[in-house]
Structures are given as structure tokens and as C-alpha cells.
């Protein structure tokens, strides 16, 4: 039997998650909804009389218009049918912004659903001198209003009691009597029959609420599953209103706010003092067009410095753990295919995912801190001008920033952007930002062909300049791609950035750590399983089919080498034979043959079949490139120490004796990695977030074509001009 | 074929099956579930009249 469900709704930043965690303790879990992937947390709420109910924390929304994914999830849960139907809704209201927060509560009350209003942040309200008569407000709304402070844990027992009382009195409530103008009432009369036909047993109140919802939500929406009759009736009502020069949206919203203003005026005993608050003083600096940008650059530097330096010890620890696990496999199993698979496929595959966890956890923790403190809202405001030029939404800034660490959390971070068009444009451009997985490739190529000792202008090292150039190119590429996408396949108006600048608050650590853990867990489960399976398949492609002739020839060489008297010389010979055999076997493998077949296509970029095999491996995950090259060049265990691979790369030649890795070929290779979409997890996460294969396919195609064209142009032009050929 | 080879191929086949299921069948099942239940359940917006 299913449990009674109570929903927790409210505006963003109203303290909803804090209240949720206070009420449910440590029982929170995360559930994904099909189609729309904005997360909802659910937990157990124990009430005073021993009754326990399921409490579901909805994404923060300002209204039920169902235009953004958060609103769609909220609407979905609020009006679910059958067992999922909520028994009551707790609306969390920020007492310091009463009228705006009560708008959602009013919309909910109009539907007749039982509502309890949690008047949150009463401590902050008291500090400003604001005094609210919650009983008067309760009378006006026709629902219980409980003053609380979720952060301090005040009033929670009373709230639990009121929820229990509300659950004890089921049935439809009478909706607040908002006086809508005649034009709205006429429109409701047109739309209501479409609702009635659809659900004949609906109450009059519900039909009215649905008609109002349809008038505000349908039209320029992205909703599916809406009956065409309801759409037609809504369009007809809108058309009639337009003929009378009436804007229905404005009329409905204005009537609701007029009702709310009156109710709030009756309930506020003493208004807040109009003093220049701490937030205003800080904003004078942080929103300043010069000082604000300077502080922002400093904050970002600290974030990246922290991300790289703090995650390094954890990353090293995990790498050591992976190495130890590989050694354990080596010790536990005799040489053979299973040992090879477990060592280089399973353990290395899991390690490849787990190695990212410290960075992902830190990134979410730091961004969560900045977001909860109220700073990120200011950054979005500051950066909106630059974003506007390329057609991106101001909120796209955070995902683009996250893309420097890893595209996966960056794609997930696009959930905060309201419109699907902006979300998809950001999602498709974000993988061009140079993620940390590209770094080993840049470092390898730079170590191979660019000198770190040589100085440019006597100050900058050549290697550091090349590395900086790669990052600069990636930022330019990202912004250009977004600009092109927004002017072609994702053409459409750029919505103005309407952003609430919340007061600065000290984030609650428990909430931050909990949300970070949920995201890390979700990453480990989702991406980890896919990457593991892909690595196993990639290992098989690089291992099979095996040539018996190659194995027999090398075995004979080993027998001959066993007779070498000098131990050191013998071991060196054995290692050389092992390297040679793995090199030949990989050439014979499915992936190796594919690399050889691909060589004519890659040659114009300055690559040979061995780089081709590395690139194929890197399409699963970029960081596989260095390891794959190590195997391809017949060098064992090259992943942890790129120097031997760079030595091999530096001395490698084409079949005609030309040097393989010239500075020009190195530049071409790095640029290929800047542009190419070589990360299965990113493709999988874009598929999940966009809800369709269409977008990841477009992303993969445009990035791969771009990578090829850029590398081709650079290599061919450089060759023509005679640049960097030696 | 040795026992190691047999187990190896089983694991590889399992990985392929997992990926096929994940990329082909799971989205179809999800789509079916989503079709059964509209993204925004407008029908559900209408609450049943309470029994007297």
C-alpha cells in the first residue's frame, strides 16, 4: 500500500530544501522523473501522532505556469493522479518577500488542494522590524499559516501539528475569491467546457483553476500531452480577448496581485525598516561594472585553484588505489585474457570514472556554496551582457564555467536555464570548453614537441603559452558555437534575464554536503556503469582478434632470450619482446585494423594509424588517449608516466622515415582534441538531459567535423608555408 | 579456449548487452512510460469532486 504523500512547494531560495532536511532528517533520497530530469527529493516526515508520510521536495518555482522544467515537475507532482496524488501541500513562503512568495500559494489554493503555509525566515523578518499577524493572513488565505525559521529549527513542531490537522480533514477547500475582470471571466467560461468534456466529474472549482492555468500556460509552451480541444479553446479565448485589446496574462496576474496586496496589507502589523541592508552594501561592490568584474575574476581564480590543488591529493590517492587494485589482479591471477581484462579493462575503467569524483564533488560543493550564498545570481547578472552578444542566457555562465573541469556536471548544470532552446544551445556548446581530461593530452604533446625552457619575449615559457592558447581557443570556440547554434538550428528570441537577487546568506553545510553527495552518487551510478561497459568493449576491440603467428614468433624469441646469462640484459630483452608483441597484436586487433584503414583519412591532419588508434580509444573518454598510445607504441604501463610515451612519440617516424610528431603535427593533434567530441559520458548525459538522441548526434557531428576541418586546415596551411615541420 | 578466455568473453558479452539495453531498450521503456503518463498531466489538474 502506498504512503500518504505531502508536497513541499515554494519559490527558489525560500529555504525549502533546508526545511525539507529539517523535517526528514537523514532519510532523503533522490528520484528522477521520466522525460523531465529535474531532481525531486523525497523523505519520510514523522508527525506528532505517530503517523509517517512521504514528504516530496519539489524544485523551486515562482508559479505553476509550467514553462520551465522545474515548473513542469512541480505541476506534474502537484496534480498527479491515483496513489501519487498529494494529500496536502506545504508552501514555503519567504516572510521577507511576502507578496511575491504568496503568489504560488494563491495559485495552489485556487485549485482546492489542502494547503499549509510555512512562513519561513521569520528570524530575518524580525531583524528588519517586519511584524506579521499570521492569524490574519491565515484567515485571508483560508489556510493555516505557521511562522517558522527552518535554518534555526523554530516552529517546526507546530508545523508538523498543522500538517497532521490538515491531513485529518480531507476534501476540497474553498478557493480564495480573487476578483478577476469580466474579460478573464469570459475567457474562463470559454475554456471551462473543454475541461468539463475532458473530465466530466471535476468540481466547478477545479475546472475554473484548470481554465486559469491553461490561459496562462498554453500558447508559446513546450508541453506535450495537452488535449487539442483544451488548446483550441484557450487559443479562441485568447483571440477574443485580443480583439478587445485585453492582455489576459496581465489581467489574471494583476487581479491576483491586487488580491494579495490587500491580504498582505491587512496582515502586516509593522513593515520592514527601509534601511540600507548588508546585502545592499555588498551589492554596491559586487554589482559594480569594474569592481564587480575584478571580484568575480578573483573568485573564479580561487575556485579553479581550489579545484585543482584540493582535488590533487584525493585524485592521487584514488590513482594509487587503482594501481594497487591492478597489482592485486596481477598477483591473484595467472597471465591470460581475464587478467588483462580485469587489469586494463574493469579496474582501469572504474578508475577512470572514480578519478573524476574529487573534482566533481569539489566543483558542486564550491558552486553550491556560491549559489546558496547568493553570489552566483550576481555573477549571472554581471555576465549577461557578454552572453547576450552570442545569444546565450545569462544563466549559461555557470555551466560554461563548470565545463573547464568536466562537461558532465556542466551539462547537468544547464537545468537551471528556463527555456529548452537556451538549455540545448548551452548543452551543445559546453563540451568545447577544455575539460580536465584534455589536459593530459595537451601535456603529452607539449612535452613531446614544445620546449618548456625556451622563452617567448624572455618571460613566458613556450609550453605554457601553447597550453594557454589551447584554453583560449576553447573559450572562443564555445562562444562562437553558441552564437552559430542560436542563429541557426536553435533560432529564437533570447529571453531577458529576469533574476531575483536574493539577500546574502551563509549557506547551511548540511544542505550543501547532502546535495553534493546526491550528485556524486548519481554520477557514479549513471556514468560509472556506462563507462565501465564501454571500457570493457574498447579493451576487447584493442585485444581481439589475436594472431597466433605473432604469439608463436614472440614465444620463440622469449625462449631464445631465456638463455641470456646477464639478468639485467635478459629482463630488458624480455620487456622489449613483450612490448613488440603487444604492439603487433594491437595492429592486428579490430581497433588496430580500423586505425590502419583510417590512416588515409588521418594523414592529411599529420597523424598515422597509431595516433588513429589512440583517437578511436579517446572517443570513449579522452583520458584513454595517453594509455592507448602507450600500448600502441608497445610501451607497458605508460599511463602513469607520460614521459616514456612522449619519448616514443618524439622518436616515432612515418613509414617513409619522416618525423611523426613535428610541432605542426602536435598543434594539429591538440586542436583536434580541443574540438572533437570524444567522451561517451558527455554524449550519454546530453541524451539524458535533452530527452532525445537528436541533440547528442548533432553535437557529435558538428564537433567532429569542426575538429577535422580545423586540424586539416592548420596542418595543410602550415605544411604549405613550411612552419613547424622539424 | 581456456577458462579465462570463457569468463572474459562472458564479461565482454555482458558489457555489450548492458550497453544495448541501456541505449536501445531502456529509452523505449521510458518513452512508453512517458506516453502512458503525459508530461504535464492536464487531466490530473482536475481534482475529483469530494464524496459527500
pLDDT tens-digit map of A410-449? 888 787 776 788 889 999 999 999 887 787 788 788 888 8
User: Which pTM value belongs to this model?
Assistant: 0.61
DSSP string, A679-690: BHHHHHHHHHHH
The β-bridge partners of A446 are: none
- C-alpha A57/C-alpha A419 separation (Å) is 22
* Distance between A612 CA and the closest CA of chain B, angstroms: 23
Please enumerate residues of B whose Cβ is less than 8 A from a Cβ of A.
2, 4-5, 7-8, 11-12, 15-16, 18-19, 22, 27, 30, 33-34, 37-50
- Quick check: is B17 in a domain? yes
- Quick check: is B11 in a domain? yes
Residue A499 host element (H or E): none
**Candidate from A356-360, A660-664, A680-684 with smallest mean pLDDT:** A356-360
pLDDT tens digits along A124-167: 888 888 899 999 999 999 999 999 998 888 999 999 999 998 88
* Distance between B1 CA and the closest CA of chain A, angstroms: 11
- C-alpha A40/C-alpha A29 separation (Å) is 9
A contact residues 198-217, partner B, Cβ 8 Å cutoff: 198-199, 201-203, 206-207, 209-210, 213-214
- Of the ranges A37-51, A653-667, B34-48, which is most confident? A653-667
Comparing CA positions, the residue from A380, A387, A373, A397 lying closest to residue A287 is A380
pLDDT tens digits along A91-137: 999 998 899 899 999 998 988 888 999 999 999 888 888 899 999 99
Nearest-by-CA chain B residue for A83 = B44
Q: ipTM for the complex?
A: 0.75
- Quick check: is B6 in a domain? yes
* Distance between A23 CA and the closest CA of chain B, angstroms: 27
Burial class for A600, CB neighbours closer than 10 Å (0-12, 13-18, 19+) = exposed
Q: Are A706 and A639 in contact (CB under 8 A)?
A: no
Comparing CA positions, the residue from A651, A646, A653, A638 lying closest to residue A575 is A638
Q: Please give the sequence-ordered ranges of beta strands (E in DSSP) within A95-134, or none if there are none.
A: 115-120, 131-132
Domain A5-168, CATH: 3.40.50.300
Q: Do B45 and A207 touch (CB under 8 A)?
A: no
Cβ neighbours of A214 in B, within 8 Å? 42
- C-alpha A537/C-alpha A691 separation (Å) is 25
Domain containing residue B18:
1-32
**Band of pLDDT at residue A558, cut at 50, 70 and 90:** very high
Q: Delimit the CATH 3.40.50.300 region(s) of chain A.
A: 5-168
- Quick check: is B1 in a domain? yes
Q: What domain count does chain B have?
A: 1
Q: Do A35 and B15 touch (CB under 8 A)?
A: no
- Quick check: is B37 in a domain? no
Q: Do B41 and A79 touch (CB under 8 A)?
A: yes
- C-alpha A470/C-alpha A136 separation (Å) is 62
- Quick check: is B9 in a domain? yes
Comparing CA positions, the residue from A406, A700, A344, A696 lying closest to residue A537 is A344
* Distance between B30 CA and the closest CA of chain A, angstroms: 6
- C-alpha A650/C-alpha A639 separation (Å) is 17
Amino acid at each position: 500500500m502506498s504512503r500518504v504523500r505531502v508536497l513541499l512547494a515554494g519559490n527558489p531560495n525560500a529555504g525549502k530544501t533546508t526545511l525539507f532536511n529539517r523535517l526528514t532528517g537523514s532519510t532523503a533520497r533522490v528520484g528522477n522523473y521520466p522525460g523531465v530530469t529535474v531532481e525531486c527529493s523525497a523523505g519520510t516526515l514523522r508527525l506528532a501522532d505517530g503517523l509517517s508520510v512521504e514528504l516530496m521536495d519539489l524544485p523551486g518555482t515562482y508559479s505553476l505556469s509550467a514553462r520551465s522544467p522545474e515548473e513542469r515537475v512541480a505541476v506534474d507532482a502537484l496534480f498527479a493522479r491515483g496513489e501519487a496524488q498529494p494529500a496536502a501541500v506545504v508552501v514555503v513562503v519567504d516572510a521577507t518577500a511576502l507578496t511575491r512568495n504568496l503568489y504560488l500559494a494563491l495559485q495552489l489554493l485556487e485549485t482546492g488542494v489542502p494547503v499549509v503555509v510555512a512562513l519561513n525566515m521569520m528570524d530575518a523578518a524580525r531583524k528588519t522590524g517586519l511584524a506579521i499577524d499570521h492569524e490574519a493572513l491565515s484567515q485571508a488565505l483560508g489556510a493555516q499559516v505557521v511562522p517558522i525559521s527552518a535554518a534555526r529549527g523554530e516552529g517546526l513542531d507546530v508545523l508538523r501539528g498543522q500538517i497532521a490537522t490538515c491531513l485529518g480533514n480531507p476534501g476540497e477547500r474553498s478557493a480564495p475569491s480573487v476578483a478577476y475582470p469580466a474579460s478573464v471571466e469570459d475567457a474562463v467560461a470559454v475554456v471551462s467546457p473543454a475541461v468539463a468534456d475532458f473530465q466530466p466529474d471535476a468540481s466547478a472549482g477545479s475546472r475554473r483553476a484548470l481554465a486559469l492555468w491553461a490561459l496562462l500556460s498554453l500558447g508559446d509552451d513546450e508541453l506535450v500531452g495537452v488535449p487539442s480541444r483544451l488548446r483550441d479553446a484557450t487559443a479562441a479565448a485568447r483571440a477574443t480577448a485580443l480583439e478587445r485589446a485585453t492582455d489576459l496574462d496581465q489581467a489574471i496576474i494583476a487581479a491576483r496581485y491586487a488580491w494579495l496586496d490587500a491580504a498582505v496589507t491587512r496582515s502586516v502589523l509593522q513593515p520592514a525598516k527601509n534601511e540600507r541592508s548588508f546585502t545592499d552594501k555588498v551589492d554596491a561592490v559586487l554589482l559594480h561594472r569594474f569592481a564587480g568584474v575584478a571580484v568575480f575574476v578573483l573568485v573564479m581564480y580561487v575556485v579553479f585553484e581550489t579545484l585543482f590543488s584540493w582535488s590533487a591529493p584525493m585524485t592521487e590517492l584514488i590513482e594509487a588505489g587503482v594501481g594497487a587494485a591492478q597489482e592485486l589482479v596481477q598477483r591473484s591471477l595467472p597471465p591470460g585474457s581475464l587478467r588483462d581484462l580485469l587489469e586494463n579493462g574493469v579496474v582501469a575503467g572504474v578508475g577512470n570514472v572514480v578519478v573524476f569524483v574529487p573534482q566533481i564533488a569539489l566543483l558542486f560543493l564550491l558552486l553550491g556554496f556560491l549559489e546558496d550564498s547568493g553570489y552566483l545570481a550576481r555573477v549571472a547578472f554581471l555576465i549577461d551582457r557578454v552572453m547576450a552578444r552570442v545569444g546565450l542566457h545569462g544563466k549559461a555562465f555557470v555551466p560554461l564555467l563548470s565545463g573547464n573541469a568536466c562537461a558532465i556536471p556542466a551539462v547537468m548544470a544547464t537545468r537551471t536555464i528556463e527555456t529548452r532552446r537556451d538549455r540545448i544551445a548551452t548543452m551543445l556548446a559546453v563540451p568545447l570548453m577544455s575539460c580536465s581530461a584534455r589536459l593530459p593530452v595537451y601535456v603529452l604533446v607539449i612535452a613531446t614537441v614544445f620546449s618548456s625552457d625556451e622563452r617567448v619575449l624572455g618571460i613566458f615559457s613556450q609550453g605554457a603559452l601553447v597550453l594557454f592558447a589551447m584554453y583560449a581557443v576553447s573559450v572562443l570556440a564555445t562562444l562562437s558555437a553558441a552564437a552559430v547554434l542560436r542563429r541557426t538550428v536553435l533560432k529564437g528570441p533570447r529571453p531577458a534575464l529576469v533574476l531575483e537577487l536574493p539577500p546574502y546568506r551563509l549557506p547551511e553545510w548540511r544542505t550543501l554536503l547532502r546535495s553534493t553527495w546526491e550528485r556524486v552518487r548519481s554520477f557514479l551510478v549513471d556514468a560509472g556503469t556506462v563507462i565501465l561497459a564501454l571500457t570493457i568493449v574498447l579493451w576487447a576491440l584493442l585485444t581481439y582478434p589475436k594472431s597466433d603467428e605473432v604469439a608463436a614468433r614472440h614465444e620463440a624469441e622469449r625462449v631464445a632470450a631465456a638463455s641470456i646469462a646477464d639478468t639485467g640484459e635478459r629482463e630488458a630483452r624480455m620487456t622489449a619482446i613483450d612490448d613488440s608483441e603487444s604492439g603487433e597484436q594491437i595492429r592486428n586487433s579490430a581497433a588496430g585494423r580500423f586505425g590502419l584503414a583510417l590512416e588515409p583519412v588521418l594523414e592529411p591532419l599529420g597523424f598515422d594509424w597509431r595516433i588513429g588508434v589512440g583517437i578511436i580509444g579517446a572517443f570513449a573518454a579522452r583520458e584513454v588517449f595517453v594509455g592507448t598510445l602507450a600500448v600502441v607504441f608497445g610501451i607497458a604501463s605508460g599511463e602513469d608516466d607520460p614521459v616514456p610515451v612522449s619519448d616514443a612519440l618524439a622518436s616515432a617516424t612515418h613509414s617513409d622515415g619522416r618525423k611523426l610528431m613535428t610541432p605542426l603535427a602536435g598543434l594539429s593533434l591538440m586542436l583536434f582534441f580541443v574540438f572533437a567530441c570524444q567522451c561517451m559520458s558527455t554524449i550519454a548525459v546530453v541524451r539524458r538531459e535533452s530527452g532525445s538522441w537528436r541533440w547528442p548526434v548533432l553535437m557529435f557531428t558538428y564537433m567532429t567535423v569542426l575538429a577535422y576541418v580545423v586540424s586539416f586546415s592548420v596542418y595543410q596551411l602550415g605544411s604549405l608555408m613550411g612552419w613547424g615541420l622539424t | 579456449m581456456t577458462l579465462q578466455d570463457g569468463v572474459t568473453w562472458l564479461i565482454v558479452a555482458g558489457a555489450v548487452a548492458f550497453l544495448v539495453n541501456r541505449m536501445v531498450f531502456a529509452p523505449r521503456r521510458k518513452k512508453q512510460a512517458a506516453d502512458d503518463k503525459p508530461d504535464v498531466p492536464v487531466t490530473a489538474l482536475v481534482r475529483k469532486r469530494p464524496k459527500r
